[in-house]
Structure 1
C-alpha cells in the first residue's frame, strides 16, 4: 500500500514529468476512479492548463494548476508514472494526461479503491482534506504529543488513523513502534512524556530514511525487511517476531524489544 514515502515519490514524478508543462489532453480510460467529477468536467477544467508546483499532505497528492486542483489518492495499489505518449499502455492505466514536450502522466491502479478528485479552489481542497490530521512529516513535536495524549486507543491504531496523523500506514507504524520499543497494544493516552518524545524522534528518523528511498524499504536492518519471512527474526535482538491482527491490520512486533505492558 502506498504510504507517505511512496506518495512523496509520486510528487517527485509529477515535478519531473509535468511541472510547467501544458496539459494537451486528458484521457479517462476508466471513469470508476473519478470521484465527484465527470469525465467531461475533468477535461474541461484541466485541458489547456499547466501543472504548477505540486504538494503532498499525508497520502494525498495535490496537483496544482493555478486554477483547479487535481487531488490523487492511491489506495492500496495506485501509482503515478511518467511515460511517452507512444509507449504501450497497461491494463490498469486508468487516466492519462498527455503533456507538452512528449510527456504523459499516467495514473495506474489495479484495485481502484481510491482515485481522483477535482477541487475548483483552495476552499474545495480544504473541504476534501478536512478530516485529515497534520502531515506526519511536518507535524511538530508538541502537536504530535498532544494528539497522542488525548486518545485512548491502541497506539498502533492511533498512528494509522488519518484524522489524527496523515501519512502513516501499516508498514510505517510497525517499523516506528519497533524502533521506539513500544508494543502496538499500548494505549496512546497512557504513554509517558518520555515515550511520546521517543516515538516522535523515531517517526521522524524513519520517515526521512523512507522518503529518501521512495518507499518503506525492506532492508535487512529494518523490521520491514523481515515481516514477510516464513519465520521472521528480529534484526536487532534475534528473537522470533510475532504476528496478530489489531483493528483488522496485520501487525508484526518483537516480544523482546517491545514488551507488552497493556
Structure 2
C-alpha cells in the first residue's frame, strides 16, 4: 500500500516529468477512478494547462496547474504514478493518462481502484478535500505530536494509522516505527509517558527520512519490514519470534520481547 514515502516518490516523478509542461491530452481509460468529476469536465479543465510545482500532504498528491484547477491524486492500496512516453502501449491497469508537451506522459495506474482522482477548482476546494487530514507526518513537530497522541484512548497502532491524527502513516511504517521505539502496538496512546512520546517522534522522523530516500519503506535485513513476510519471522534485534496480530483491521507484526512485552500498557 502506498504510504508517505511512496507518495513523496510519486511527487518527484510528477515534478521531474511534468512540472512546466503543458497537458496536451487527457485520456481516461477507466472512469471508475474519477471522484466527483466527469470525464468531460476533467478533459476540458486540464487540457492546455501547464503543470506547476506539485505538493504532497500525507498520502495525497496535489498537482496544481498555472492559473487553473488542481488535480488531487490518492493511490489507495495499489495505485502508482509513472512517467513514460505518451505513445507507449497502455498497461491493463492504466486508468488515466496525461499526454504532455515534449513527448512526456504521466499515467495513473491502479489495480483495485479504491481511491482515485479529484479536481479542485480553488484553494478552498483543496482545503475542503483535505479537511479531515491531520498534520503531515514528515512535518509534525514533537509538541503537536505529543498533544495529538495524549488525547487519544485508542491503541497506539490504530491512532498512528488514523489519517485525521497524523497524515501519511500506513501499516508498514507504523509497525516499523513502533518496533524501533520498543512500543507495543496495542498500548493505549493516552497511557504512554513523555519519554515514550519523545522516542516515538524521533523514531518517526528517522524512519521517514530513510524511507523517503528510498521512495518506499525499505525491506532491509536490519528492519522489521525485511522480515515480516518470512515463513518463520524473527526479530532482527533480539532474534526472538515475531508475533502477528490483527489491530485496526490490519496485520500487525511486532516483537513481544523488545516492544515492552505489554499489549495493554
Instruction: Report 1:62-101 matches (<5 A).
Output: 62-66=62-66, 67-101=68-102
Secondary structure of the residue aligned to 1:53 is coil
Counterpart of 1:43? 43
When structure 1 is superposed on structure 2, of 252-261 and 118-127 the one drifting more is 252-261
Q: Partners of 1:161 and 1:52 in 2: how far apart?
A: 30
1:162-205 deviation digits (Å, cap 9, x = unpaired):
00000000000000000000000100000100100000000000
1:24-70 deviation digits (Å, cap 9, x = unpaired):
00000100000000011101111000100000000000001032010
Counterpart of 1:221? 222
Give TM-score, length-normalised by structure 1.
0.99
Instruction: Report 1:128-147 matches (<5 A).
Output: 128-147=129-148
Counterpart of 1:159? 160
Q: Partners of 1:141 and 1:181 in 2: how far apart?
A: 18
CA RMSD of aligned residues (A): 0.6
Please tell me whether residue 247 in structure 1 is matched to residue 211 in structure 2: no
Counterpart of 2:60? 60
Q: Partners of 1:169 and 1:52 in 2: how far apart?
A: 28
Q: Partners of 1:146 and 1:175 in 2: how far apart?
A: 22
Counterpart of 1:210? 211
- Aligned residue pairs total 262
1:62-88 deviation digits (Å, cap 9, x = unpaired):
001032010000000000000002211
Q: Partners of 2:86 and 2:24 in 1: how far apart?
A: 11
CA contact (8 A) 2:185 2:263 kept: no
**Segments ≥4 residues shifted beyond 4 Å:** none
Query: Alpha-carbon deviation of 1:261?
Result: 5.0
Structure 2 gaps, min length 5: none
Secondary structure of the residue aligned to 1:203 is helix
Counterpart of 1:16? 16
Secondary structure of the residue aligned to 2:174 is helix
Query: Alpha-carbon deviation of 1:247?
Result: 2.0
Secondary structure of the residue aligned to 1:24 is strand
Counterpart of 1:123? 124
Please tell me whether residue 260 in structure 1 is matched to residue 262 in structure 2: yes
Q: Partners of 2:26 and 2:95 in 1: how far apart?
A: 11
Structure 1 gaps, min length 5: none
Please tell me whether residue 233 in structure 1 is matched to residue 234 in structure 2: yes
1:129-166 deviation digits (Å, cap 9, x = unpaired):
00000000011111100000000000000000000000
